[in-house]
Structure formats: C-alpha cells, structure tokens
Structure 1
Amino acid sequence: MVPSPQSRTRLWTPKHVVVTRSAAERPHAAEIVARCEAAGVGDIDFLRSDRITGLRGDDERATYARAKSTLAVVVSPPSKRKLQPIPPSADWRLDLAEGCPAHCQYCYLAGSLSGPPVTRVYADLDEILAGMDAYVGRGGVTSGTAGRAHEGTTFEASCYTDPLGIEHVTGSLAATIAHAGTHDFGGPVQLRATTKFGGVEPLLGLPHSGRTRIRVSVNAAGVAGRFEGGTDPVAVRLAGLGRLARAGYPAGLTIAPIMPVPGWREEYGALLDAAAAELDGVPGLDLTVECITHRFTPGSREVLTGWYPNTKLEMDPERRSRKFGKYGAVKYVYRREDMAELRTWFDRALAERLPAARALYWT
C-alpha cells in the first residue's frame, strides 16, 4: 500500500549547497557533503572564501526562491558560541544552524535575520557542543528557578532553525542528542528542540538517556493548512512525537502560533484530541505543553508581505495591542480581552483533554 500524502514525512533536499573555505576544513562538513550527495544533490560548490555569494535573483521573489533552496555550510560566528538566555523556553540558546527550508507565512525568523533566507548549518559542531559545559548550572530560566529546576540546565536547539527539518542532510541533531545523552556535564542537563516535521527515524535508536525533549509545533487545521507551507501535516508530526515518546524521549507540544480563526475552539479541540489519541498508552509519558499566540513586529510584517504578497494572514496593527520589549522594540499582540478568552479556553481544554501534560508557559 502506498502511504497517503497525509501520512508521509517530507525530507528536504536542497538544490544548491555551498561550503565556505573555513567550513571545508571541519570534519562535520565532510559528513554534510556526503549526506547531500547521497540525497542526490548535484550542485555542490566549495567557495574560495567565507563569503556566501550567488543568492540574489532578479527580484525579491527570485532571491527568496534561490535562498530557500540553498544549504550553506559555514563556521558559526563567535557570537553564536557565546550562549544567550532564551526565556521563556530555556536557559540557553544552542544554535546548530540558522534558517529554515519551510515556508510558514508567519515565519518567526522574518525580521530577525538579515539578508536572503538561506539555511546555514554550522560545520564546527564539535566546538559548539564542547562549549556547553561552561553553562551548566548557570541558567536563570529553568536551572535557576524553583518551578522548573527539575529540568536541569536547558539548551534550546531550535530558536533559529528546525533541526529535524534539515537532519536528513546534516546529521547535526542526532549528534547533539547523542552528546547530551552520553557526556558527563557535571550536572543535570536537558536538550530541547521543536519541529514541524515527523521524520524521526534517525533519532529513535540514539543514546538520549532521557535528556532530550522533542516537541512538535502544531496548530489548528485552519492555520496549519493555510499558512505552514513546506512542512509535514500535523498528523505526521503527532505520529512522529508518539514514536519518540515510545522510544523514551520526554515529549512536548508547542501550540503555536495560536490564532482565533473562525471555528478556533472546535479546531483546537480536535487538535488536542488527536494529540491525546496519539500519546494514549505511552508508558511513563513525560509531556509538556507550550502555548504561544501570534504576534508580529513592524519589521517582520514588512518582510513577510514581501515574501508572501498574497498572504491572508491577519497582521493589522489596528486590531492588535502594542507591546514593548526591554529595549523598546515594538511587537503587536492580541488585545487583552482576546488573550483572556484564548487563555481561559486553552487552560480548560488542556486540563480536560491532556490532563497528564505539564503547562510550561503561555505567551
């Protein structure tokens, strides 16, 4: 029987791969190149410098298309190896890559990253992982708080990428999970990663030691089906999460970005029911839930409307409340009364449909 499109996972294969001069000297770059060759990539270019070129097209759409189909193998800048807190998710941000091959019309990276949206994977993975030790026990989001100290020092690997979405051609996530599961850190540690993909096979047999929590980013049918291009169907993501949970991984649901679309109560209710059915009967289930409502900045709105000029995504500042960050940055969130209605419903629905789940935060 041929699997239906709703049950198959997508394996992203770049059309173009570029390897910078410094990256080519690293052993992990050779593994990435071998994976890309095995996946059928014929256009692999070893650059003479560390400057990535050839991403610009005749217009913004052509540039977007070229960048989104390109994997750049680079060495991480020193700023990436100086880990930063990432509240409310984790103590520290651990970047394995930057950029994502998916086409989500609300993309979190829009406005945060400069230049064409190419996916950069870091070839200096050994150095990145070796740097984790210095941060153990020093966090203020989980390890330094009473409510979440039991999670240990947490490292978030999916702030600027979807690590499972590119695992097919990088191998970086599996290597990081194995390192987190076998290394003596001198204190409790948890690796965290979230994904919109379901191709979990490379992760199932790893020595994770229960130190990696994989979460799937899920949404209502009216949001996922309309705004999450290039990702796996939600049913495939949930099936992958079930397989990971049965392989002993701590699991999680990242419900994001929550939107009050028409029929949202029914659609999010169906989503929670599907998650409950997929995880039913998992021995010793360790499940968390994170709820993140939709928001945007003036900069991300400008970028997204350039990438997706025909989008139907609601980004009307007049229908939102303005919120200011600690450095004065503006973002638009739902109005207080809308937020209250959403949160009240989710608090009740989660308690009823997923009573074993531990809610980490609402934002």
Structure 2
Amino acid sequence: MKLFFPDTVYVNPKALNYECGLKAVEYLKNHNINIINSRSVSINEKSFIENYDKSKKTVFLTINSQKKLPSCKPSANYQFSLSSSCPGKCEYCYLQTTQGEKPYIKIFVNIEDILKVIQEHINKHLPDITTFECASITDPVALDHITGNLKRCIEFFSNSDHGRLRLVTKFDNVDSFLNIDHKRHTTFRFSLNSEYVINNFEKNTSSLKNRILAAKKVANSGYPIGFIIAPIMIYPNWKKEYKNLIENLSVAFKDYKDKISFELIQHRFTSTAKELILNRFPNTLLDLNEDKRQLKWGPYGKFKYIYTKDDSEEIKTYMSDLINKNFKNAVIEYFT
C-alpha cells in the first residue's frame, strides 16, 4: 500500500521545539505538502461529509502533554498515544464519538517526553512487568514514516526489563520495523476481518492479503504476533466468510510454531456513533438496527448496542472453535 501523505499539515509552534518536529516538517516539505504554522486546525467545508473527508487528509503536528496514562483493559495495563485518528476511513470506527465531526490526524512529536511518562509508569509497578498499548486511538504504523516515533518506542521497550509494548494495525508498511533488535518486547497484532467487512467498511486500509503478508514478515522477524478479529459481524454467509479467513490465515502460518494470540470483538455502536456514521456514510451497509441488539454499559460512560446474548454466544463459540481447530498454538485472550 502507498504511504499516506496529507494534503495539508498544520504545525503547532511548540512542535518546532523538538528535533522530531523539525525533521517531520522538513520531510513533509520535501514531499511538497502544504505547511501552515498555526496553533489550531481550520476545517470549514460546506457539508458534514466534506468536513470528514478533508479531516482525513489533514495532519496537525503538535505535542502530547499527557502525564497520567489511562487504563487499557483487557489489552494492556496502560495506553499512550503517538498520534490520534488515522488515514483509514472505517465506517464502524469506535472512535466516531470521541473524535467528533472533524477527526483530523494529530501527530505528537515530543517523543522524549512521552517515553519519560512511560518510564514513570513502569517505575510505579516495579518489579512487575507493565504493558502498554499504543494503538487505542490511532494506527501508529500508518503514520510512522513521518516521524519514526513508533520505531523509537520499539527500541525503547527493547531495552526495558519491565516494560512491554503492544500495537495493532490495518496497514502493511512494516519494513522499517523488521531489523530492530526488539528482544521480543513488542507484540505486533494485525486487525483482520472477512472480505465482506474489509471491502465494504474499511476504506483506505491495506487489503486482507497484504495484511497477512505483512504479519508474516513481522513474525519472521521474531516479534510476538497476534490477530484482532474485529468487529465480528453477523450478515448473510458470515460463517462461511469467517471460516475462509481463519483457514487461509492458518495456511499462511502453518510453519509458525510460537504462540499466536487472538482477540475477538463483536460489532457494537452507540447512539451518537450511529448518527455520525449515517451522516458520514449515508449509503452504509452497516447493520445499525437497535431492535436486534441489547444495551451494554460501556467503560466511558455510554451505553452501546451489542448483539443479543444468544447471538453473542454464537459468535464466541463459532469463532473460538474455528481458531482452536485451525491453530494448535492459538491463545484466545478474550471475547467481548
């Protein structure tokens, strides 16, 4: 997949106090990207859809001042951010509500400060191992060619006796990570789904074929590997398509002997997300019928619509059986 380049980059003056910020600006200038020095981003198109589309082509180089990292259960102990939003235009994205009407892409350049905060959180829990997720509100792989900060993080964790990194991606530009002496302290996971879901709802992301090829590269470079199957959807022929996905993945990893982790997440949405999705994608094929769902209280103070108890149990049982049948080295970390 081609590397992502925005149409416009806004640069917070504070970003220029950091070497990473200066290098990122120079890199983008060399690719003839429009640079605007500003403390804020201005997007004022004529329609909701145009605002969304322009946002996905707009980057704000800025800093991350977060000192207290939020919890990230069940994936990790904490989450931190190298960026927010991403070039992908996934119609179901669970960040629809938090990123609002104009989900432009923030890239944080104060990597030294971010790593210092991470180390402080590691120190709090010594002598225990502390795990960190860096892809909760973004796809760091999709943006790393601009800053190289994900590579810096992998190198940082490789030298950490008590810190471990986890990340997930839908993009295949992984070559810059293959020769790092990571010491298996970073776990790469790839977000996969059926062809129907990827083709209809995961716009501006790598194809299923290329994600699997990228996963094999990463696994062959010695990283712990895993897959997030999400969001799992019920639709006509869903069982056959997910069966094809798991069987094809099994063939691709038939010679891989180490543990492979799986995280299974069913499709869910909030009322606010539904409204945003229908405004952005008025012709979406997403099933947003609330009458077919049940309410579940979410960790961020909102009710979300998940599948009914019977449907959820069917998804969990079917997917778990598929994985265990096709992978002797699989560990299903959770279903939610």
Structure 1 residues not aligned, in runs of 5+: 1-8
For residues 88-127 of structure 1, what are the structure 2 equivalents within 5 Å? 88-127=74-113
Counterpart mapping for 1:1-363 below 5 A: 9-38=1-30, 40-47=31-38, 50=39, 52-76=40-64, 78=65, 80-136=66-122, 152-182=129-159, 184=160, 187-282=161-256, 284-325=257-298, 328-363=301-336
Please list the CA deviations of residues 233-276 of structure 1 after superposition, one character each: whole Å capped at 9, or x if unmatched.
01101110110010000001000000012111111111111211
* Distance apart, 1:171 and its partner CA: 1.5
Counterpart of 1:125 in structure 2: which amino acid? Answer: I
Distance 1:192 1:275 in 2: 21
Paired residue secondary structure (1:91): strand
Using the aligned pairs only, state the percent identity: 28
CA contact (8 A) 2:48 2:101 kept: no
Q: Paired residues, what number?
A: 336
Partner letter of residue 172 of structure 1?
A: N
Aligned partners of 2:130 and 2:162 also within 8 Å = yes
Q: 1:170 Cα shift? A: 2.6
Displacement of 1:173 after TM fit?
Answer: 1.1
Provide the secondary structure at the position in 1 that maps to 2:99: coil
Determine helix, strand or coil for the equivalent of 2:96: coil
TM-score under structure 2 length normalisation: 0.95
Q: Distance in 1 between matches of 2:68 and 2:240?
A: 44
Most deviating of 332-341 and 162-171: 162-171
Q: Is the 8 A contact 1:106 1:313 kept in 2?
A: yes
Q: Is the 8 A contact 2:101 2:276 kept in 1?
A: no
- Given that 2:132 and 2:164 are in contact with CA atoms closer than 8 Å, whether structure 1 keeps it comes out as yes
Structure 1 outlier segments of 4+, above 4 Å: none
Following superposition, the deviation at residue 119 of structure 1 comes to 0.4
3-state secondary structure, aligned to 1:166: helix
Contact 1:99 1:117 in 2 (8 A): yes
Q: Over the residues paired in the alignment, what is the CA RMSD in angstroms? A: 1.8
Give the AA of the match of 1:59. Answer: S
The secondary structure found in structure 2 opposite 1:342 is helix
Q: Aligned to 1:164, what secondary structure does the other structure show?
A: helix
The answer to whether the Cα contact below 8 Å between 2:55 and 2:103 also exists between their aligned partners in 1 is yes
Q: 1:3 matched to which residue of 2?
A: none
